[in-house]
Amino acid sequence: MFSSIEFDNFAIHIIDQLKLPNELVYIDIASIQDAWLAINRMNIRGAPALASLATLSIAQKLHNTEYSSTDNLLSDVNDACDYLYTARPTAVNLGVALDQVRQAAKTADKQAIIDQAILVWSEDVSRNKRMSDNGANWLIDELEKKGKIEKGGKISILTVCNTGSLATSGYGTAFGMITRLHELGRLERAYYAATTPYYQGTRLTAFEFVQLSIPSCLVCDTAIGSLISSGTVQAVTVGADRIALNGDTANKIGTMQAALFANAYDIPFTVVAPRASVDRNLQNGQSIPIEQRPAKEAVTVRGVEVDRNTLASVRLAPKEIGNDPLHTVYNPGFDVTPARLISAVVLETGVAVARNNSSDIDVSSLL
């Protein structure tokens, strides 16, 4: 297992995920401003990883600063939390983690604040393993109970985007559930969507499956319906950037189409995420803020030139697209999947499913 974040003696290094899989490059994070830029530019991504980097950068700042007064300390903490939250607003984990740091700041104890900031990162792996185990066991039981697989049989499963060690502090969420199925000897093959326009599936999920020698298959985003309708996969699992109390879930763009196809062909669709992904202030997903990404991301692609074996960025669309008001780009980072399309929400505390033919899932029962 590897991690997207290295933290040692208050030095922070992150894998530059924009360079993967062609280059393994680490970026030094030496300030809160560095952390903000890395999050905003998507050098690091994945809701749990964003939260970890943000709070570690606060711990680093406090460790390296001598404060003449408590007021100065608290002002620095609050300013840092306000600033870091603006980097990417859709992922609720970021806001929850920063609120935990604010709460620790009420002690006016510098070390207590630092300890809480580090705890967000250090607890992530064990949390991921618990939710992954919950999800794998629930899915096996569900498929066997409904006769979708033979008892002891193997499962082929589809996922979207990247939710592995690159998106967390280690092991992963939905990716972790797939890893757990593999560890249990119950995985036939993992299928993963390319996840354009940043190709998090093609670049990052592929990279992780190769590292772990997990049998896998890349799926073009436009082929998801074809794959599910063919009966090749028996389930879909995804992560989450924000979950409302009724189960509505914001996740990487393309998640909702996978849920629609899973629902149409009666296969389980699970959301696997930490409790921190649940927004306790949202009754449903209608008011989840959806980040609009720059047009440039949709009209360019970065990779290795096959003939020259050198990295290059290539524009795919005419130069007017995204640069001319007449020719715009719709590039949301996320979509919101309604709870009625979700079979189960899996957290580290358990599994919630819809009850009594309700279209909602009572996620609050797991908090």
Tell me the DSSP string of 92-159: HHHHHHHHHHHHHHTTT-HHHHHHHHHHHHHTHHHHHHHHHHHHHHHHHHHHHHTTSS-TT--EEEEE
Q: Is 353 left (phi over 0), alpha (psi -120 to 50) or beta?
A: beta
Q: Give catalytic status of residue 241 as yes or no.
A: yes
Listed in sequence order, the residues at least 6 apart from 279 whose beta carbon sits closer than 8 Å to its beta carbon are: 92, 242, 243, 244, 245, 288
Number of Cβ atoms within 10 Å of the Cβ of 325? 6
Number of Cβ atoms within 10 Å of the Cβ of 217? 15
As a dihedral over the C-alpha atoms of residue 43, residue 47, residue 53, residue 54, rounded to 10 degrees, the angle is: 110
Out of 34, 76, 221, 241, which one is annotated catalytic? Answer: 241
Q: Rounded CA gap, 353 and 247, in Å? A: 9
Q: Rounded CA gap, 259 and 362, in Å? A: 19
CB 158 within 8 A of CB 228: yes
Q: Rounded CA gap, 160 and 238, in Å? A: 6
CB 338 within 8 A of CB 327: no
Closest alpha carbon to 174 in 188, 158, 150, 155: 158
Q: Rounded CA gap, 113 and 123, in Å? A: 16
Residues annotated as catalytic are 241
